[in-house]
Amino acid sequence: MNEVDPRRAIPRTDALLMLPSVAAARSRLGEHVVRRLVRDAQDRARRGELAPEQVANVVLETLPAHAGTTLRPVLNATGVVVHTNLGRAPLSATAIEALVAASGYVDVELDLDTGARSARGIAARAALLAACPPAEDALVVNNGAAALVLATTALAAGKEVVVSRGELIEIGAGFRLPDLIASTGAALREVGTTNRTHLRDYAEALGPQTGCILKVHPSNFAVHGFTAAVNLRELRPLASEYAVPLIADLGSGLLAPDTLLPDEPDATTALTDGADVITASGDKLLGGPQAGVVLGRSQIVARLARHPLARAVRADKLTLAALEATVSGAAAPVTRALHADPARLRARADRLADAIGATVVAHDGRVGGGGAPGVPLPGWAVRLPEAVAAPLRTGDPAVLPRVHDGACLLDLRCVPEADDERLLGAVRAALARIG
């Protein structure tokens, strides 16, 4: 007598889809996602990895854990505040609320009082202007590189951008400033040398062919020794004499000076010192969503806003909402992490170390994201064996430590204190995995 193939007992797809929890998940995750999860469980049973009677339970257990995105939240225990590989700045609770509120229909280009169309992003613009009084106008685009490209395109396409050779930098992922500007249709006019540029170098380059003067803050590195550079105050009279706009690309997005980072440029100082317009990122030291911020003279900002490229790089409603909330709300997580109390960091590290029998070592965090290169953020880290790093990264929650000098270091500077217990659980689980 022939034996019955046990695979015939695997539940049918239509039967699994009719289960109440599965049916409810179809409206949350989508038909194709739920069917794929059902099919995966059935395939495991066909391969003999599951008994047929386990298929339904496996599907039901998988659904709650399946999110709408494959991106995983990570506890940042590296000590690097603006971590590019982790999405740079984490949003504040207020910014998250604003982002959720803006996810539906909102008055992003509508005056509800009159019912007429209004300018886009008025509230975000007002928040930026309130936070940076020297600015006459503001514009928000989709990232910092777009802000610089828009500025050089609108002001210098078909003309020359005068810039110091010492400021022709390469930014993340291999993008180089000369290539970025060349893509706008403007020509680079390099002045000075890598380590020394003088005012006369700029003066000799200016003429009818000049579209703008560009000052770029060198991100991710610093040059020391026999150096010279021309600041915005020195360039202002020259720009006025030749009637050319003076652009300052600040990069990291500080709106006002920060005593912790005395050498990091900020928008308020740059505009006060003579820049016609500044460009910066919204998701670095500003602590908001990915965005490009333009601040400066109303006449110059208006030229950028009218350019056809502005439409291609404009910010969406979610970015505008989160940026407004970041600028007008309480201190963002980036700001809190930068100014974390070392004594409090030590107490938290001691508590974690005592719970797992580890040691605490002095550890300097970093700003990251190209901000304040070489500036240490004194703090503490829990020292663990290097082998713990991999199970921490792949655990739940995922934890990214710093691996250095044969050790796995956990710096709590960027870990919200409310997550300390979750971090402890993750470390215990990782230690258990390595035996």
CA count, 13 A, side-chain hemisphere, 37: 23
Per-state percent for the chain, helix, strand, coil, to nearest 5: 45, 20, 35
Taking alpha carbons only, the member of 24, 26, 1, 16 closest to residue 50 is 16
Q: Are 129 and 253 in contact (CB under 8 A)?
A: no
β-strand 277-281 against 246-251: which pairing, if any? parallel
What residues contact 52, with CB distance under 8 A and at least 6 apart?
A: 6, 7, 9, 10, 11, 45
**Residue of 328, 268, 269 whose CA lies nearest to 124:** 328
Phi, psi angles (nearest 5°) of residue 176: -110, 140
Name 364's bridge partners: 378
Q: Using one digit for the tens of pLDDT, what is the confidence trace for 45-65?
A: 999 898 999 999 998 888 876
SS3 105: coil
Q: Which helix (H) or strand (E) holds 231?
A: none
CB 382 within 8 A of CB 347: no
* E strands present in 241-288: 246-251, 277-281
How buried is residue 379: exposed, middle or buried, by Cβ count under 10 Å (0-12/13-18/19+)?
A: buried
Q: Which residue has the tokens 């995922």?
A: 398
Q: pLDDT digits over 64-86, tens only?
A: 766 677 789 999 999 999 999 99
Give 365's pLDDT tier (boundaries 50, 70, 90).
very high
Beta bridge pairs of residue 380: 362
Contact 301, 145 (CB under 8 A): no
pLDDT of residue 399: 98
Q: Return d(Cα 172, Cα 188) in angstroms, integer.
A: 21
The tens digit of pLDDT for each residue in 235-273 reads 999 999 999 999 999 988 999 999 999 989 999 999 999
pTM for the predicted model, two decimal places: 0.87
